[in-house]
């Protein structure tokens, strides 16, 4: 059976086609510039040359029709017809307090997602458009919603409550929700495998560092606290988001600069973070190049981002009491040794020691790597995330009636013998270019 997963943004649609029987990715890609001029689909499939096709996509329905046409194309498609698609999984950013697990999408659940738009006005509308578009094109196929927020529903009230008037919580659902849940679920389960421990006897601090970044304290295998809050704006310094700031700054700048609430929201979400600090760059690779050339503001942006991550690591260490491993994941977490170094340097008294050479060499999206020093009390791993696999497995289980919350459900990637075929093939090529990666690979310990 073939499973299609969709991640719909306001102007893009990411997709993956997965063969459940062969446990392999058939294709993946993205439609960019939806609703804008110059729409294009970029399609990748193993054994086939990458395909890039310009096609006007005024809305998400046309975009999804284009995806289906591409994956069934005679020349570069991967399925013969749409009838092979057995279920569609959709990423939903915000499930509020309504959803503590992935769900089948029906009229009732879709209506609930629409009620939650106020909690995620930048994300949920696009997610909902994608669901409605996909259901219009594939009306007879089960559709499932996999929430970023569901993983964090295990947090205690000391973690999710704000020190605000309680009626705001009662009436307007103001509380910490957290995001990047599918990424944290995947990396938490994989870290437990590498440690050779029962996942529900494992304490972790996981740093998902990308353009959007958050950090998660995992206690006994469940989310205990996380840096993002009611929205994805709180917490770490990010590509374009401010992260933690004094709320008084908002009132001050509105008065001084005459900005409206919408203006400030745009500034904090789109023009802050490392982009705001540097005034030029949100891509950490650009900042790293500038810093290496001696640009002082680029160096300051790097140090600010690393220092914020380090403060959260220290806080979550205190909250957990005992930590088995620190995990870095997502684009910067997987490929950014400078950020990893700045986030962990000076934490030796906590038993966190990173090997500088291993950290510098650890740039690989196809293997799980260990960068901690041999005498480090706390393991430090770099684990490439796989949110699409979580979406795929949840969608299949929901469709087949075997799904349950992660505390009662075992994923395929929790097995020590689990192998991602695409990454295994990619690693062979990586090792040809970088043979030293072999010495960094983290192998599962025996329980």
Per cent of the chain over pLDDT 70 is 100
- Residue of 73, 107, 148, 324 marked active site: 148
* pLDDT tens digits, one per residue of 33-60: 888 888 899 999 988 888 999 999 988 8
Of 9, 55, 3, the closest CA to residue 25 belongs to: 3
Active site residue 50: no
Q: Which residues contact residue 309 at a Cβ distance below 8 angstroms, ignoring those fewer than 6 apart? A: 207, 209, 213, 215, 236, 339, 342, 343
* Residues shown for the chain: 447
* pLDDT tens digits, one per residue of 373-417: 999 999 999 999 999 999 999 999 999 999 999 999 999 999 999
pLDDT at residue 189 tops 80: yes
pLDDT at residue 13 tops 90: no
Q: Assess contact for 217 and 326: CB atoms under 8 A.
A: no
Q: Is 362 left (phi over 0), alpha (psi -120 to 50) or beta?
A: beta
- Which three-class secondary structure state does DSSP give residue 177? coil
Cite the DSSP H helix spans in 30-176.
Answer: 60-71, 107-115, 124-137, 157-160, 166-172
Q: Give 253's pLDDT tier (boundaries 50, 70, 90).
A: very high
How far from the centroid of its chain's Cα atoms is residue 253's Cα? 32
| pLDDT score of 255 | 97
DSSP 8-state code for residue 445: P
Q: Is 441 left (phi over 0), alpha (psi -120 to 50) or beta?
A: beta
Superfamily of domain 2-147: ATPase, nucleotide binding domain (3.30.420.40)
Q: Give 346's pLDDT tier (boundaries 50, 70, 90).
A: very high
CA distance 395 to 411: 12
DSSP 8-state code for residue 118: G
Cite the DSSP H helix spans in 321-374.
Answer: 330-335, 337-344, 356-361
| pLDDT score of 123 | 78
| pLDDT score of 61 | 87
Per cent of the chain over pLDDT 90 is 80
Average pLDDT over residues 243-259: 97
Q: Give 86's pLDDT tier (boundaries 50, 70, 90).
A: very high
CA distance 327 to 139: 40
CA distance 160 to 355: 35
Of 145, 143, 176, 152, the closest CA to residue 162 belongs to: 176
Report CA dihedral (162, 165, 166, 167) to the nearest 10 degrees.
-130
* pLDDT tens digits, one per residue of 101-133: 999 999 999 999 998 888 877 778 888 888 988
Q: Give 93's pLDDT tier (boundaries 50, 70, 90).
A: confident
CA distance 176 to 160: 4
Of 165, 136, 147, 164, the closest CA to residue 109 belongs to: 147
* pLDDT tens digits, one per residue of 260-284: 999 999 999 999 999 999 999 998 9
CA distance 20 to 321: 40
Same fold yes or no, 2-147 and 181-384: yes
CA distance 240 to 234: 12
Average pLDDT of the residues of the chain: 94
Q: Assess contact for 10 and 125: CB atoms under 8 A.
A: yes
The fold adopted by the segment(s) 181-384 is: Nucleotidyltransferase; domain 5 (3.30.420)
| pLDDT score of 48 | 83
User: Tokens 């990423």, residue?
Assistant: 91
pLDDT at residue 180 tops 90: yes
Domain boundaries, the chain: 2-147, 181-384
Say what the pTM is: 0.94
Q: Assess contact for 185 and 406: CB atoms under 8 A.
A: yes
Q: Check the CA dihedral 416-422-425-428 and report its sign.
A: negative
Which residues face 361 on adjacent strands? none
């Amino acid at each position: 059976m073939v499973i299609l997963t969709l991640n719909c943004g306001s102007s893009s649609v990411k997709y993956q086609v997965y063969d459940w029987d062969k446990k392999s990715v058939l294709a993946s890609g993205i439609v960019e510039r939806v609703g804008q001029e110059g729409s294009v689909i970029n399609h990748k499939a193993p054994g086939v040359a990458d395909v890039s096709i310009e096609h006007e996509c005024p809305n998400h329905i046309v975009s999804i029709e284009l995806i289906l046409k591409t994956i069934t194309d005679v020349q570069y498609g991967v399925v013969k017809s749409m009838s092979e698609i057995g279920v569609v999984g959709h990423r939903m950013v915000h499930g509020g307090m309504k959803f503590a697990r992935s769900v089948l999408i029906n009229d009732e659940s879709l209506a609930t997602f629409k009620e939650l738009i106020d909690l995620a006005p930048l994300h949920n509308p696009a997610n909902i458009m994608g669901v409605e578009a996909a259901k219009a094109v594939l009306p007879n196929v089960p559709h499932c919603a996999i929430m970023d927020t569901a993983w964090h529903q295990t947090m205690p009230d000391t973690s999710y409550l704000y020190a605000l008037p309680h009626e705001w919580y009662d009436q307007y659902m103001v509380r910490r929700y957290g995001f990047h849940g599918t990424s944290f679920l995947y990396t938490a389960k994989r870290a437990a495998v590498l440690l050779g421990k029962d996942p529900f006897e494992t304490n972790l601090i996981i740093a998902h560092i990308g353009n959007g970044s958050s950090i998660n304290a995992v206690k006994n295998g469940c989310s205990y606290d996380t840096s993002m809050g009611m929205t994805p704006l709180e917490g770490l310094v990010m590509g374009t988001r401010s992260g933690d700031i004094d709320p008084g700054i908002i009132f001050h700048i509105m008065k001084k600069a005459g900005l409206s609430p919408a203006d400030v929201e745009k500034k904090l979400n789109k023009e802050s973070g490392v982009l705001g600090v540097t005034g030029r760059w949100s891509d950490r690779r650009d900042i790293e190049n500038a810093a290496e050339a001696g640009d002082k503001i680029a160096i300051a942006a790097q140090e600010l981002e690393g220092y914020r991550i380090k403060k959260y690591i220290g806080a979550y260490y205190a909250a957990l009491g005992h930590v088995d491993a620190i995990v870095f994941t997502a684009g910067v977490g997987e490929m950014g040794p400078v950020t990893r170094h700045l986030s962990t340097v000076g934490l030796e008294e906590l038993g966190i020691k990173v090997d500088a050479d291993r950290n510098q060499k650890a740039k690989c999206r196809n293997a799980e790597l260990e960068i901690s020093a041999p005498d480090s009390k706390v393991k430090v791993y770099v684990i490439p995330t796989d949110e699409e696999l979580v979406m795929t497995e949840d969608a299949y289980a929901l469709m087949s009636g075997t799904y349950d919350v992660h505390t009662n459900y075992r994923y395929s990637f929790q097995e020590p013998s689990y192998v991602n075929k695409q990454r295994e093939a990619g690693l062979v090529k990586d090792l040809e270019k970088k043979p030293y990666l072999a010495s960094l690979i983290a192998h599962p310990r025996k329980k």
